[in-house]
Chains A and B, each alone.
Chain A
Amino acid sequence: MIPTGRSNPDIGCFGRCRAQPMFHRVLDANPATVRAALQDVRQRFLPEVCEDTLGRLELVLAEVMNNVTEHAPHEVPDPTPDPGRSPVIHLCIVRHDGGLACALTDDGISLPEGCILPRSLPALVPGDLPEGGFGWFLIQDLTQALCYYREDSRNYLAFSLPFALPEAE
């Protein structure tokens, strides 16, 4: 739960190359820690990333981490004899010239098959509107170069979040 992100614009790497702010955190997957991490991500990038991009970043990270939290295998009515535990999420974000590169890993259950395949919104049926099923649509819509694989007991998800046009360098 200790933020290990670093930002030190005073230390240039060999002259011209700028140091870029990054954020790294390891957290238990539950709604309170996810909320806290999102607020800290915002604080980390606030000075250098515009509000529009921050808003998209916060939304997409929330959707990814909520998925891990909601589908945690320990969520059974009777947790004994194995009390189980929350999955642990590793979150890493690096700013680069075109946007923000994000990588998340977790040791929860596998992400749904086809989660990175193009999908459409749930059908808007009048009188019976969907109350869920928006998460992966939003993740796909807001990101670029979304990729996922599972290795052993961990999920690996990575994507890029482009800057808003006026902000791109």
Chain B
Amino acid sequence: MQFIVEDADTHLHIKVLDTRIDAAIATPFKDKLREIVAPCRKPVRLDMAAVDFMDSSGLGAMIAVRKSLPEHLAMVLSALTPNVERVFRLTRMDSVFDLQPPPPQKEPDA
């Protein structure tokens, strides 16, 4: 399980580096992420750009992490790939998490 964690003032920014959140890693993924998220008491922003596959056990892990955070603190998932976003939408979990589209690509200065 690999994460890049950055404690911004207003929120915790976490980049997920695993490319698959599946049954093979769901439990340690959940445990590790809960350890990071639970003590901080801040809204969390997860950068999911690297994740290209998630199954229902991965979804269960994400829900468990969400539940480790008080309800009034947002958990924002950004840059979801289409395959991962599909799982959230089909299971209606897009109502529980705050799904945000990837930021627009900035054109390099000419």
> Do A and B come together as binding partners?
yes
Q: Compute how far the CA of A97 lies from the CA of B17 in the bound complex, rounded to whole angstroms.
A: 37
Count of chain A residues with a beta carbon within 8 Å of a chain B beta carbon:
30
Asked if A113 CB lies within 8 Å of chain B CBs, one says: no
Contacts A124-B95, A126-B71 given; does A34 touch B23 at CB 8 Å:
yes
Asked if A148 CB lies within 8 Å of chain B CBs, one says: no
Asked if B60 CB lies within 8 Å of chain A CBs, one says: yes
Measured CB to CB, the closest approach of chain B to A23, in angstroms, equals 17
Q: Compute how far the CA of A126 lies from the CA of B96 in the bound complex, rounded to whole angstroms.
A: 9
Give residues 8-46 of B contacting A (CB, 8 Å). Answer: 20, 22-24
Give residues 66-96 of B contacting A (CB, 8 Å). Answer: 66-67, 71, 82-83, 86-87, 90-92, 95-96
Q: Compute how far the CA of A31 lies from the CA of B71 in the bound complex, rounded to whole angstroms.
A: 32
Residues of A close to B66: CB separation below 8 A: 129
A55 touches B59 (CB 8 A): no
Give residues 22-80 of A contacting B (CB, 8 Å). Answer: 31-32, 34-35, 38, 51-52, 55-56, 58-59, 62-63, 66, 69-70
Q: Compute how far the CA of A79 lies from the CA of B90 in the bound complex, rounded to whole angstroms.
A: 38
Return the chain B residue nearest A126 by Cβ: B71
B57 touches A55 (CB 8 A): no
Q: Compute how far the CA of A63 lies from the CA of B24 in the bound complex, rounded to whole angstroms.
A: 12
Which residues of A are in contact with B by a Cβ distance under 8 Å?
31-32, 34-35, 38, 51-52, 55-56, 58-59, 62-63, 66, 69-70, 121, 124, 126-127, 129-132, 134-135, 137-138, 141-142
A-B contact pairs, 29 of them (CB 8 A): A31-B24, A34-B22, A34-B23, A34-B24, A35-B20, A35-B22, A51-B82, A52-B82, A56-B86, A58-B83, A59-B87, A62-B22, A62-B23, A66-B23, A66-B57, A69-B23, A131-B63, A131-B64, A131-B67, A132-B60, A134-B56, A134-B59, A134-B91, A135-B56, A137-B90, A138-B87, A138-B91, A141-B90, A142-B90
